[in-house]
Amino acid sequence: MQLAQAHTLSDIAALIGAQILADPGVSVTGINEIHKVTPGDISFVDHPKYYEKALNSAATFVIINKEVDCPPGKGLLLSDDPFRDYVALVKHFSPFNPSLINRADNAVVGEGTILFPGVYIGNNVIIGKNCVFHPNVVIYDNTIIGDNVIVHANTTIGSDAFYFKKRATYWDKLVSCGRVIIADDVEIGANCTIDKGVSGDTIIGRSTKFDNHIHIGHGVVIGEMCLFAAGVMIGGKTIIGDQVTLWGQVGVSKTLTIGNNVTVLAQSGVDKDLESGKIYFGSPAGEARKRWKQMAASNNMLEIWEKMKNG
């Protein structure tokens, strides 16, 4: 999330009561979780396992719970609970502002767009021309949708990221401040759910088509002209290339990369990156021809075993 205006590091430190380990006058221009940071951003880290990744990331500022050597060009804020303080900053700069009418006063809807009864459009939503939104579609705040987009009934766009920290007696929510951005000519089936990014954008590329009952996790980036059949589930922050086909009930784990022109056959489970231009099958998914050969060999071994057992 980029801030509406820059703030000094001392201003940020004062908001959360953190100790400054840097020049207090430098400017903070954004707040982002570690997977989406850019220069000028402030992020957080609260586990030694991830210190190095955070300190060597693109983030200029890091909220951290241990005093460490600060890399050149970085600024640190020392906190006893970086997760808590990061959430406090998100709530301060992106406060919850409920709109209790079906179409927020500051939403923009393009010429020729049709809104069926029951459609809800939140704050700061921008919708292009000649779209169709069927009954009971819900579009959360800050979503951006292009031209000629069709969204079928009961689909929800922009719900919160599924991101929690385990505390001793409860799950602590990492509050989302990202967006969903949908390009031109996309069609989304009925009963789909598309989460906003934790702090960045969930993006669906031009002319991509979704069947019904599809879930897209937070911060996922999907390329152009993809085709997803019913029941596809994509974990958070996964990146999917152009012209990718995922057939029914394919599950894709988080933070993976799927190349261009990939096809994943039905009911496969993807747990690692997939190279461009190949067909995959199985759980865990592998190249389809290899998987079929393995299955054939396994069946042959079973037949041999049965013959040996029965004399």
Of residues 85, 71, 80, 72, the one with CA closest to residue 42? 85
Q: Which residues pair with 77 in a beta bridge?
A: 20, 63
- Read off the tokens for 25: 């006058």
Of residues 236, 212, 209, the one with CA closest to residue 223? 209
**Count of CA atoms in the C-beta half-sphere (13 A) of 141:** 15
Q: Are 167 and 149 in contact (CB under 8 A)?
A: no
- Read off the tokens for 172: 């602590």
Which one of 134, 152, 213, 218 is the catalytic residue? Answer: 218
Rounded to whole angstroms, how far apart are CA atoms 177 and 82? 17
Active-site annotation holds for 218: yes
Q: Are 177 and 210 in contact (CB under 8 A)?
A: no
Query: Strands 245-246 and 263-264, how do they pair?
Result: parallel
Active-site annotation, residues: 218
